[in-house]
């Protein structure tokens, strides 16, 4: 009885901390658009005029965010459309957390640890800062973890539809996530190996249906990029001299990319966990990454978790070849890193109660820091 009460107390404290973090997320509703949000808004405004333009020229910026923005702009005036868009992203993030939790529970992970992984994801300062904005992270988090959860399900028409839907959304939200196609092909191969005749038609017809928008978008991009019509393009990073080698060096953090102000790649990995703006450390980041990787490889040895790890590595390699990678880009993969840290703690014999206690302490520090940021943001609004 005493143990049950203790576990319930721990879980209630987790939920309380999660609620506090969600409240801090709402500060973005008061903040005007910045940087890429302005880009999405301008493209959305032109969509409603019948053009996928940034200013006076076509754009090859991924379309999902701009079309969602255009949807809200079509029936709501400013600033209400922006507020509802941000609320929509918070809701998507919530559904993504649900998929994450269901996936962890399906792997027989202890309920408290599964909830702890969710907690650490929600209270993370980068999560609080970005998932409630108009940036792609919320949609990607929802799609990625929805995809991962569906990968654990048995073959059915509904499962195939969901897998293809989530994959299509990821591709059209951030191009790098197209690498998840390899994971999807592995799934289809295994499904067809078990029962080819009854499954081939289901996989083929829905693949064609969901790939139509992707093919149309690829055709559009090729036309814009080939004829150099783009006003703003993601593919400028591939137009440097020797782009592959240059991007790999930048993606690994060996060199600063000309499109950004700081070195990114591996040295920026630490910034995902330490709430210090612009922090970079090749050594600390390398240690954290190795700890995560060893823990996951040694302990995350069932089929579903191997798929999760493969997807994580593919996306990270995609960022390396694209010459990018900083805290916001890795947010979608954050629960995987925390799970790897947990498995590493098990590997070296740390009791769960100590991992829980340390995580609670870190969460409290994060919450206090977010209250500080909340105060600064609100104070600035009333200056």
According to the model, what pLDDT value does residue 5 have?
56
For 161, the token pair is 């539809």
b/e code 166-191 from CB counts within 10 Å (16+ = b): bbbbbbbbbbbbbbbeebbeebbeeb
Determine the pLDDT at residue 92.
95
Q: Tens-digit pLDDT profile for the chain (383 aa)?
A: 555 555 666 667 777 777 888 888 888 888 888 888 988 999 998 899 888 888 878 888 889 999 999 999 988 888 889 989 999 999 999 999 999 999 998 888 888 888 889 989 999 989 988 899 999 999 999 999 999 999 999 999 999 999 999 999 999 999 999 999 999 999 999 999 988 888 999 999 999 999 999 999 999 888 887 776 666 666 666 666 677 888 888 888 778 877 777 888 888 888 888 877 778 888 999 999 999 999 988 877 788 889 999 999 999 999 888 877 777 888 999 999 999 999 999 999 898 888 888 888 888 888 888 888 888 888 877 76
Q: Are 96 and 335 in contact (CB under 8 A)?
A: no
- Smallest CA-to-CA distance from 64 within 206, 167, 148 is with 167
pLDDT for residue 324: 78
Euclidean distance between CA atoms 367 and 365, whole angstroms? 5
Question: Taking Cα atoms as reference points, which of 21, 100, 15, 113 lies closest to residue 365?
Answer: 21
Helices 334-347 and 282-299: crossing angle in degrees, nearest 10, is 70
Q: What is the DSSP letter of 178?
A: G
Paired tokens of 308? 């999760």
The pLDDT score that the predictor gives to residue 10 is 67
């Amino acid at each position: 009885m005493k143990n049950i009460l203790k576990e319930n107390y721990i879980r209630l404290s987790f939920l309380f901390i999660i609620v506090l973090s969600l409240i801090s997320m709402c500060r973005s509703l008061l903040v005007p658009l910045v940087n890429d949000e302005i880009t999405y808004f301008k493209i959305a405004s032109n969509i409603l005029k019948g053009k996928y333009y940034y200013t006076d020229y076509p754009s090859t910026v991924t379309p999902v965010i701009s079309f969602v923005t255009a949807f809200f702009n079509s029936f709501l005036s400013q600033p209400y459309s922006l507020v509802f868009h941000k609320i929509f992203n918070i809701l998507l993030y919530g559904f993504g957390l649900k998929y994450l939790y269901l996936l962890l529970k399906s792997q027989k992970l202890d309920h408290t640890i599964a909830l702890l992984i969710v907690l650490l994801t929600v209270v993370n300062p980068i999560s609080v800062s970005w998932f409630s904005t108009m940036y792609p992270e919320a949609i990607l988090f929802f799609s990625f973890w929805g995809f991962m959860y569906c990968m654990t399900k048995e073959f059915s028409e509904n499962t195939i539809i969901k897998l293809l839907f989530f994959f299509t959304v990821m591709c059209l939200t951030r191009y790098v996530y197209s690498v998840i196609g390899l994971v999807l092909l592995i799934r289809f191969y295994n499904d067809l190996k078990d029962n080819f005749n009854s499954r081939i038609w289901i996989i083929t017809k829905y693949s064609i249906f969901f790939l139509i928008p992707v093919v149309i978008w690829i055709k559009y991009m090729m036309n814009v990029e080939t004829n150099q019509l783009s006003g703003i393009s993601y593919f400028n990073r591939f137009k440097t001299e020797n782009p592959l080698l240059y991007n790999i060096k930048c993606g690994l953090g060996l060199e600063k990319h000309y499109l950004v102000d700081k070195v990114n790649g591996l040295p920026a990995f630490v910034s995902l966990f330490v709430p210090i703006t612009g922090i970079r450390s090749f050594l600390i980041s390398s240690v954290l990454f190795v700890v995560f990787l060893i823990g996951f490889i040694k302990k995350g040895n069932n089929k579903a978790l191997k798929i999760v790890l493969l997807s994580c590595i593919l996306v990270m390699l995609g960022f390396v070849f694209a010459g990018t990678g900083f805290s916001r880009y890795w947010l979608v993969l954050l629960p995987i890193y925390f799970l790897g840290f947990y498995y590493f703690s098990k590997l070296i014999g740390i009791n769960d109660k100590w991992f829980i206690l340390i995580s609670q302490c870190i969460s409290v520090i994060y919450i206090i820091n977010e209250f500080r940021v909340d105060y600064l943001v609100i104070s600035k609004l009333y200056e």
